[in-house]
Chain A
């Protein structure tokens, strides 16, 4: 990495670039969208074009590409060139990891930063820094899509299944509405080498029920529950604990004369009633949902037509 003093210098003023002739932008005649760059960016890009033209793979390219992606982290061509140069130089990849960690704090949603990280770690074949890094990023934004996708690659590629549940538990402890964490929990059960045994289902249902009770209108654990029951090869109607959960949520609401039943509880009761071909119960639940989830009334009317 270059020192702070160097960062302010134009590349045209840097002695190590004196032998290079910069190639300015060619917008062609009468451009529709002529681009007025900041002078330091235009200067750096002129040197980048020169580098491309000569396939320069020297160490100074690292300073140049760092300068550009700091200003414009979405510039995939520059990232790709940096990657090829790093590999060609057999450069120290741990300093690349440091660089990415610093960049990711400012640009957590840049596709390019995450893709670059993956390329470095794949090349290193060492993921010892990855889960701690990802956890730091999830501490900033626990639903960062890039961080979760990258996490799946890391866990799968380096078989790091063991720690997943403790991290997921912790994230759900902080925010039981974290759909990404619920998705990850399902993904681990589905993809880990030992799979998901039917015998584990009871304990897992208990885990979910406990968290549904914290926030019954939270969509994520309900969807997860459907998924995990299906993954075990069962149906909702097979699991008494699920029918009990829905019934108790409905009872609680009626006992407090509140109309505030979780639509997800009612929806699950509806599916169980459909499976048991209990038409009268289906109709009752659909009518309740039409009242209590009015924004989706047309969906519940549709469900009613399916049972009527």
Chain B
């Protein structure tokens, strides 16, 4: 454990921590996470922007790197010469939106890639390998909305699949029947918010379940009886914020928990106090603080985990969403081996 728990947000140190990331190239973790590189740039850029230091990253270099990760199928890999995956495709779009460089993207190629990942039952696969997960539903809908191309997929079916993943406790899992998990709940609630279908959510029931994630030390966990982790400051809070129930958790004790997870020597935020910081927890700690209105940080959009000024600009009051049918029954599985879990 750190000797002294930081009680203030160490903004300057965090900026240095992020800018120093690409100097650690010789470390095992760096190249072993090669396929995450595009995510890493998104985590770093968003953290910096929320801290009012976006310009510390060279815009032209970032844009060139993003474009170098695009493949012929229109999707993006995690790094140069990696196969396309929805996860990196969303990071690419988010980065370019934040850099106001959407005009440099081939929107129709990206749209076609996302479209190609849609299944008939409304679910999405992440890549050509075929894994199904509500994370991919979120990514598809968030990405298309940022490109203003939600018309490219059957939004009503996508909503129907997410609804099939709603559980008895009000939460959502990765596939129909899978356990409720705060990360998946962010994805499902965020996706539903983006396509104006929040009526699928049992808001009071889910809001209480999310509030139950707060532990005595102020931190939040992702499932009952699991350890607290700074990243849930984002997954839980964003969903509560979208449901207009963020005040159901104790704000001050959560702020203290996140501040206590900062590394006062190196900068950066860890998963919990005393652990080694990384850029993933850096972003979700900062974004959590931003959502709680911590001073000195930009407002963040809980649906996109991007600065709010960016999404306000990118997504004006535009709603070209198909009207939805009455709530349908859960989808029946097609062939047994094709069942989505």
Contacts and interface: CB of A to CB of B under 8 A. Distances in A.
A156 B339 contact: yes
Interface in A34-65: 34-38, 41, 49
Interface string B121-158: 00000011111000000000000000000000000000
Nearest to B170: A223
A151 to B, nearest CB: 9
A223 B169 contact: yes
B131 A115 contact: yes
A76 B83 CA distance: 8
Contacts of B33: 74
Contact of A72 (B34, B208, B212, B339): B34
Contact of B250 (A25, A152, A190, A295): A295
A153 B179 contact: no
Interface string B17-41: 0000010011010111111110011
Contacts of A79: 129
B101 interface: no
Given A150-B341, A295-B216, A298-B247, A77 B83 contact: yes
Nearest to B66: A32
A183 interface: yes
A149 B341 contact: yes
B31 A36 contact: yes
Nearest to B212: A219
A49 B34 CA distance: 15
Given A72-B34, A80-B83, A296 B249 contact: yes
Contacts of A226: 168-169
A271 to B, nearest CB: 11
B184 to A, nearest CB: 9
B172 to A, nearest CB: 12
Interface in A122-147: 122, 143, 145
A179 B223 contact: yes
Contact of A38 (B31, B41, B80): B31
B175 A149 contact: yes
Given A36-B25, A219-B225, A220-B224, A72 B248 contact: no
B180 to A, nearest CB: 7
B91 interface: no
A72 B32 contact: yes
Given A36-B25, A156-B336, A186-B168, A75 B253 contact: no
Contacts of B212: 219, 296
Contact of B61 (A26, A32, A186): A32
B64 interface: yes
Interface residues of B, number: 65
Interface residues of A, number: 61
Nearest to B171: A223
A178 B85 CA distance: 33
B75 interface: no
B108 interface: no
A157 B339 contact: yes
Interface in A103-135: 111, 115, 122
A148 interface: yes
A152 B177 contact: yes
Nearest to B36: A74
Nearest to B248: A299
A219 B339 contact: no
A180 B248 CA distance: 25
Contacts of A220: 224-225
A27 interface: yes
A218 interface: yes
Residue of A38, A74, A152 contacting most chain B CB atoms (<10 Å): A152
Contacts of A152: 175, 177-178, 341
Contact of B68 (A28, A115, A122, A299): A28
A28 B336 contact: no
Interface in A148-183: 148-150, 152-153, 156-157, 177-180, 183
B256 interface: no
A111 B136 CA distance: 13
A239 interface: no
A76 B85 contact: yes
B261 interface: no
Given A76-B83, A76-B127, A157-B339, A37 B31 contact: yes
A26 B85 contact: no
A143 B174 CA distance: 14
Contacts of B62: 32
Interface in B182-234: 207-209, 211-212, 214, 216, 223-226
A245 interface: no
B81 interface: yes
A276 B303 CA distance: 38
A226 B167 CA distance: 11
Interface string A213-237: 0000011100110111011000000
Contacts of B26: 36
B183 to A, nearest CB: 9
A145 B26 CA distance: 32
Given A35-B25, A220-B224, 6 more contacts: A49-B81, A72-B35, A148-B179, A186-B167, A218-B224, A231-B168
29 contacts: A25-B81, A28-B68, A32-B58, A32-B61, A35-B37, A36-B25, A41-B31, A76-B129, A77-B83, A80-B83, A80-B129, A115-B130, A148-B178, A149-B173, A150-B341, A152-B177, A153-B341, A157-B337, A177-B224, A179-B223, A179-B224, A180-B223, A186-B168, A226-B169, A227-B167, A295-B214, A296-B248, A296-B249, A302-B248
Which 5 pairs across A and B sit closest by C-beta, in order of nearness? A227-B168, A32-B65, A153-B341, A77-B83, A183-B179
